[in-house]
Structure 1
Amino acid sequence: MTKNLYDKIAVILMAAGKSTRFSKEINQLKQFYILNDKPIYRYSLDFFYQYGFSKILLVLPEGYEKKVKNMNENNEIITYVCGGDSRSESVYNAILYLKNNKIETTHCIIHDVARPFIEKQVINRILSEIYKYPSITCAINASDTIGYGYEYIENYIDRNFTYLIQTPQAFSFDILKNCYERYMNEKEKKVFTDDTSLVYEYSKIKTKIVQGSKNLFKITNFEDLEYARFLLENEKQILN
Structure 2
Amino acid sequence: MKYYAIIVAGGSGSRMQSDVAKQFLLLDGKPILMHTLEAFANSELQPELLLVLNIHQHQYWEELCKTHSFTIKHLVIKGGAQRFHSVKNGLKAIKGKGIVAIHDAVRPLLSADLILRSFIAAEEHGNAVAGVQSTDSVRSINPEGKTEALNRENLLMIQTPQTFTVDILRKAYQQPFRNEFTDDASVVEYSGYTIHMIAGNRENIKITYPEDLEIASILKKKASENIKGLELY
Q: How many Å separate the matches in 2 of 1:17 and 1:167?
A: 15
Q: What amino acid maps onto 2:10 in structure 1?
A: A
Cα distance, 1:64 vs structure 2: 2.5
| 1:234 lines up with 2:228 in the alignment | no
> Contact 1:215 / 1:239 at 8 angstroms: preserved in 2?
no
Q: What amino acid maps onto 1:134 in structure 2?
A: G
Name 1:74's counterpart in structure 2. Answer: 72
Cα distance, 1:237 vs structure 2: 5.1
Cα distance, 1:35 vs structure 2: 1.1
User: Which of 50, 56, 60 is matched with 2:53 structurally?
Assistant: 60
* C-alpha distance after superposition, 1:149-206 (max 9, x if no partner): 269652121111100000011011111111111125xxxx3252210011111x2211
Query: Where do residues 77-92 of structure 1 align in structure 2 (5 Å cutoff)?
Result: 78-92=74-88
User: Which of 143, 159, 179 is matched with 1:190 structurally?
Assistant: 179
Q: How many Å separate the matches in 1 of 2:47 and 2:202?
A: 27
- 3-state SS of paired residue (1:64): helix
Name 1:222's counterpart in structure 2. Answer: 210
Name 1:209's counterpart in structure 2. Answer: 197
- 3-state SS of paired residue (1:226): helix
Q: How many Å separate the matches in 2 of 1:31 and 1:40?
A: 5
Count residues in correspondence.
221
Name 2:165's counterpart in structure 1. Answer: 172
* C-alpha distance after superposition, 1:59-100 (max 9, x if no partner): 11113234424513133xx111010111111111101222xx
- 3-state SS of paired residue (2:203): helix
Name 1:29's counterpart in structure 2. Answer: 21
Q: Which consecutive residues of structure 2, in runs of 5 or more, have no partner in the other structure?
A: 229-233
Q: Which consecutive residues of structure 1, in runs of 5 or more, have no partner in the other structure?
A: none
Q: What amino acid maps onto 1:18 in structure 2?
A: S
* C-alpha distance after superposition, 1:118-162 (max 9, x if no partner): 112212322331222122111101122111126965212111110
- 3-state SS of paired residue (1:127): helix
Name 1:17's counterpart in structure 2. Answer: 11
> Contact 2:12 / 2:20 at 8 angstroms: preserved in 1?
no
- 3-state SS of paired residue (1:12): strand
In angstroms, what is the RMSD of aligned CA positions? 2.1
Q: How many Å separate the matches in 1 of 2:55 and 2:184?
A: 21
User: Which of 86, 91, 94 is matched with 2:90 structurally?
Assistant: 94
- 3-state SS of paired residue (1:210): strand
Shift of the 16–105 alpha-carbon distance from structure 1 to 2, 3 Å rule, reads farther
> Contact 2:205 / 2:216 at 8 angstroms: preserved in 1?
no
Cα distance, 1:28 vs structure 2: 1.2
Name 2:122's counterpart in structure 1. Answer: 130
- 3-state SS of paired residue (1:46): helix
Name 2:231's counterpart in structure 1. Answer: none
TM-score for the superposition, normalised by structure 2: 0.86
